[in-house]
Protein backbone atom coordinates (compact mmCIF):
# COMPACT_ATOMS: atom_id res chain seq x y z
CA UNK A 1 0.00 0.00 0.00
CA UNK A 2 2.99 2.33 0.43
CA UNK A 3 4.40 1.46 -2.98
CA UNK A 4 2.86 4.51 -4.72
CA UNK A 5 4.49 6.89 -2.21
CA UNK A 6 7.82 5.10 -2.49
CA UNK A 7 7.71 5.19 -6.30
CA UNK A 8 6.93 8.92 -6.28
CA UNK A 9 9.79 9.65 -3.86
CA UNK A 10 12.18 7.54 -5.93
CA UNK A 11 11.21 9.31 -9.16
CA UNK A 12 12.02 12.67 -7.56
CA UNK A 13 15.46 11.44 -6.46
CA UNK A 14 16.22 10.32 -10.03
CA UNK A 15 15.86 13.78 -11.63
CA UNK A 16 18.44 16.55 -11.20
CA UNK A 17 16.09 19.49 -11.83
CA UNK A 18 12.84 18.77 -9.98
CA UNK A 19 11.21 22.06 -11.01
CA UNK A 20 11.83 21.44 -14.71
CA UNK A 21 10.49 17.87 -14.28
CA UNK A 22 7.31 19.11 -12.58
CA UNK A 23 6.57 21.79 -15.19
CA UNK A 24 7.17 19.36 -18.08
CA UNK A 25 5.03 16.69 -16.37
CA UNK A 26 2.13 19.13 -15.83
CA UNK A 27 2.27 20.18 -19.48
CA UNK A 28 2.39 16.56 -20.61
CA UNK A 29 -0.56 15.56 -18.41
CA UNK A 30 -2.59 18.44 -19.88
CA UNK A 31 -1.63 17.26 -23.38
CA UNK A 32 -2.53 13.63 -22.55
CA UNK A 33 -5.91 14.57 -21.06
CA UNK A 34 -6.86 16.77 -24.00
CA UNK A 35 -5.70 14.23 -26.55
CA UNK A 36 -7.65 11.43 -24.83
CA UNK A 37 -4.69 9.23 -23.84
CA UNK A 38 -4.75 9.79 -20.06
CA UNK A 39 -6.47 6.80 -18.47
CA UNK A 40 -4.84 3.70 -17.08
CA UNK A 41 -8.26 2.03 -16.74
CA UNK A 42 -9.00 2.55 -20.45
CA UNK A 43 -5.67 1.03 -21.53
CA UNK A 44 -3.69 4.24 -21.90
CA UNK A 45 -1.27 5.69 -19.36
CA UNK A 46 -1.96 7.15 -15.93
CA UNK A 47 -0.10 9.57 -13.69
CA UNK A 48 2.77 7.33 -12.61
CA UNK A 49 3.38 6.20 -16.21
CA UNK A 50 3.68 9.76 -17.49
CA UNK A 51 5.91 10.66 -14.52
CA UNK A 52 8.33 7.81 -15.23
CA UNK A 53 8.48 8.65 -18.95
CA UNK A 54 9.20 12.34 -18.23
CA UNK A 55 11.74 11.46 -15.52
CA UNK A 56 13.56 9.23 -18.02
CA UNK A 57 13.95 12.23 -20.35
CA UNK A 58 15.04 14.46 -17.45
CA UNK A 59 17.74 11.94 -16.54
CA UNK A 60 19.05 11.94 -20.11
CA UNK A 61 19.00 15.75 -20.28
CA UNK A 62 19.53 16.92 -16.67
CA UNK A 63 19.89 20.63 -17.48
CA UNK A 64 17.07 20.86 -20.00
CA UNK A 65 14.31 23.45 -19.68
CA UNK A 66 10.73 22.09 -19.63
CA UNK A 67 10.19 23.02 -23.29
CA UNK A 68 13.28 21.03 -24.26
CA UNK A 69 12.15 18.10 -22.12
CA UNK A 70 8.83 18.09 -24.02
CA UNK A 71 10.55 18.18 -27.40
CA UNK A 72 12.86 15.29 -26.45
CA UNK A 73 9.90 13.41 -24.98
CA UNK A 74 8.01 13.32 -28.28
CA UNK A 75 11.14 12.67 -30.32
CA UNK A 76 12.31 9.74 -28.18
CA UNK A 77 8.98 7.99 -27.58
CA UNK A 78 7.80 8.32 -31.18
CA UNK A 79 10.89 6.29 -32.12
CA UNK A 80 11.07 4.00 -29.05
CA UNK A 81 11.33 0.31 -29.90
CA UNK A 82 8.55 -1.12 -27.74
CA UNK A 83 8.39 -3.56 -25.97
CA UNK A 84 11.85 -2.48 -24.79
CA UNK A 85 11.13 -1.33 -21.21
CA UNK A 86 11.57 2.23 -19.95
CA UNK A 87 13.41 2.04 -16.61
CA UNK A 88 14.84 4.76 -14.40
CA UNK A 89 17.20 2.33 -12.68
CA UNK A 90 18.10 -1.36 -12.92
CA UNK A 91 15.59 -3.82 -11.49
CA UNK A 92 16.38 -4.80 -7.90
CA UNK A 93 15.84 -8.28 -6.54
CA UNK A 94 15.77 -9.01 -2.82
CA UNK A 95 15.88 -12.73 -1.99
CA UNK A 96 15.15 -12.00 1.68
CA UNK A 97 11.75 -10.44 0.81
CA UNK A 98 11.00 -12.83 -2.06
CA UNK A 99 8.54 -10.55 -3.87
CA UNK A 100 7.78 -10.96 -7.57
CA UNK A 101 9.45 -8.32 -9.74
CA UNK A 102 8.97 -7.62 -13.43
CA UNK A 103 11.24 -9.98 -15.37
CA UNK A 104 10.18 -11.36 -18.77
CA UNK A 105 12.96 -13.96 -18.61
CA UNK A 106 11.39 -15.57 -15.53
CA UNK A 107 7.71 -14.59 -15.73
CA UNK A 108 5.92 -15.67 -18.92
CA UNK A 109 3.10 -13.12 -18.35
CA UNK A 110 5.64 -10.28 -18.43
CA UNK A 111 6.64 -11.26 -21.98
CA UNK A 112 3.17 -10.30 -23.23
CA UNK A 113 3.42 -6.68 -22.03
CA UNK A 114 3.41 -4.30 -25.00
CA UNK A 115 4.64 -1.05 -23.48
CA UNK A 116 6.53 -1.81 -20.25
CA UNK A 117 7.15 1.22 -18.02
CA UNK A 118 8.88 -0.14 -14.93
CA UNK A 119 8.48 1.38 -11.47
CA UNK A 120 11.85 2.35 -9.98
CA UNK A 121 11.50 1.03 -6.41
CA UNK A 122 11.36 -2.53 -5.10
CA UNK A 123 9.38 -4.55 -6.05
CA UNK A 124 9.79 -3.19 -9.60
CA UNK A 125 6.71 -3.85 -11.73
CA UNK A 126 5.22 -2.82 -15.04
CA UNK A 127 2.96 0.16 -14.37
CA UNK A 128 1.42 0.03 -17.86
CA UNK A 129 0.17 -3.55 -18.09
CA UNK A 130 -3.29 -2.40 -19.28
CA UNK A 131 -1.95 -1.14 -22.62
CA UNK A 132 -3.43 -3.04 -25.58
CA UNK A 133 -2.53 -3.16 -29.28
CA UNK A 134 -5.16 -0.55 -30.13
CA UNK A 135 -4.36 1.89 -27.31
CA UNK A 136 -0.64 1.58 -28.03
CA UNK A 137 -1.22 2.39 -31.70
CA UNK A 138 -3.19 5.49 -30.70
CA UNK A 139 -0.45 6.64 -28.28
CA UNK A 140 2.27 6.06 -30.87
CA UNK A 141 0.31 8.19 -33.34
CA UNK A 142 -0.01 10.93 -30.70
CA UNK A 143 3.74 10.77 -29.95
CA UNK A 144 4.39 11.12 -33.68
CA UNK A 145 1.99 14.08 -33.84
CA UNK A 146 3.97 15.72 -31.02
CA UNK A 147 7.26 15.06 -32.77
CA UNK A 148 5.91 16.63 -35.97
CA UNK A 149 4.73 19.66 -33.96
CA UNK A 150 8.25 20.33 -32.69
CA UNK A 151 9.82 19.51 -36.04
CA UNK A 152 7.56 22.09 -37.71
CA UNK A 153 7.72 24.78 -35.02
CA UNK A 154 11.31 24.38 -33.85
CA UNK A 155 12.18 25.59 -30.35
CA UNK A 156 8.82 26.69 -28.93
CA UNK A 157 9.08 29.55 -26.43
CA UNK A 158 5.61 31.10 -26.09
CA UNK A 159 2.56 29.60 -24.38
CA UNK A 160 0.39 30.52 -27.39
CA UNK A 161 2.50 28.33 -29.66
CA UNK A 162 1.61 25.26 -27.55
CA UNK A 163 -2.13 25.65 -28.19
CA UNK A 164 -1.89 23.53 -31.35
CA UNK A 165 -0.05 20.77 -29.48
CA UNK A 166 -2.65 20.54 -26.70
CA UNK A 167 -5.80 21.12 -28.75
CA UNK A 168 -8.49 18.62 -27.70
CA UNK A 169 -8.90 15.47 -29.76
CA UNK A 170 -12.07 15.68 -31.87
CA UNK A 171 -13.57 12.28 -31.06
CA UNK A 172 -16.84 12.84 -32.91
CA UNK A 173 -15.02 14.26 -35.93
CA UNK A 174 -12.56 11.38 -36.17
CA UNK A 175 -14.92 8.43 -35.78
CA UNK A 176 -18.23 7.52 -37.44
CA UNK A 177 -19.37 4.69 -35.14
CA UNK A 178 -19.84 4.68 -31.38
CA UNK A 179 -20.95 2.26 -28.70
CA UNK A 180 -23.09 3.58 -25.84
CA UNK A 181 -23.22 1.60 -22.61
CA UNK A 182 -25.97 2.30 -20.08
CA UNK A 183 -25.51 1.04 -16.52
CA UNK A 184 -28.53 0.43 -14.27
CA UNK A 185 -29.01 -0.72 -10.68
CA UNK A 186 -31.83 -0.79 -8.15
CA UNK A 187 -30.04 1.39 -5.55
CA UNK A 188 -27.14 3.85 -5.27
CA UNK A 189 -24.67 1.50 -3.53
CA UNK A 190 -25.19 -1.27 -6.07
CA UNK A 191 -24.96 1.27 -8.88
CA UNK A 192 -21.58 2.59 -7.70
CA UNK A 193 -20.12 -0.92 -7.43
CA UNK A 194 -21.57 -2.04 -10.77
CA UNK A 195 -20.63 1.17 -12.61
CA UNK A 196 -17.04 0.92 -11.34
CA UNK A 197 -16.79 -2.69 -12.47
CA UNK A 198 -18.27 -1.94 -15.90
CA UNK A 199 -15.95 1.05 -16.29
CA UNK A 200 -12.87 -1.03 -15.45
Q: pLDDT by residue (tens digit) across 99-120?
A: 889 999 989 999 999 999 999 9
User: Which residues, in sequence order, are CB contacts of 198 under 8 Å at separation 6+?
Assistant: 181, 183
In this prediction the pTM is 0.88
**pLDDT given at position 112:** 93
Tens-digit pLDDT profile for residues 16-63 = 999 999 999 999 999 999 999 999 988 999 999 999 999 999 999 999
Q: So what's the pLDDT on residue 64?
A: 95
**How far is it, in rounded angstroms, from Cα 119 to Cα 46?**
13
C-alpha–C-alpha distance, residues 189 and 185, integer Å:
9
**Residue-wise pLDDT tens digits, 137-159:** 999 999 999 999 999 887 666 77
Amino acid sequence: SLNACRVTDTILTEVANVESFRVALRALKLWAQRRGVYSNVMGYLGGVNWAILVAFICKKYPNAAPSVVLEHFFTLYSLWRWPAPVMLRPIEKDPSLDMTVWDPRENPRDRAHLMPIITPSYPCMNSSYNVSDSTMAIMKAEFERGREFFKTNGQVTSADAYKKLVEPFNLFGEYKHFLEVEVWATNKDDFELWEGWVHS
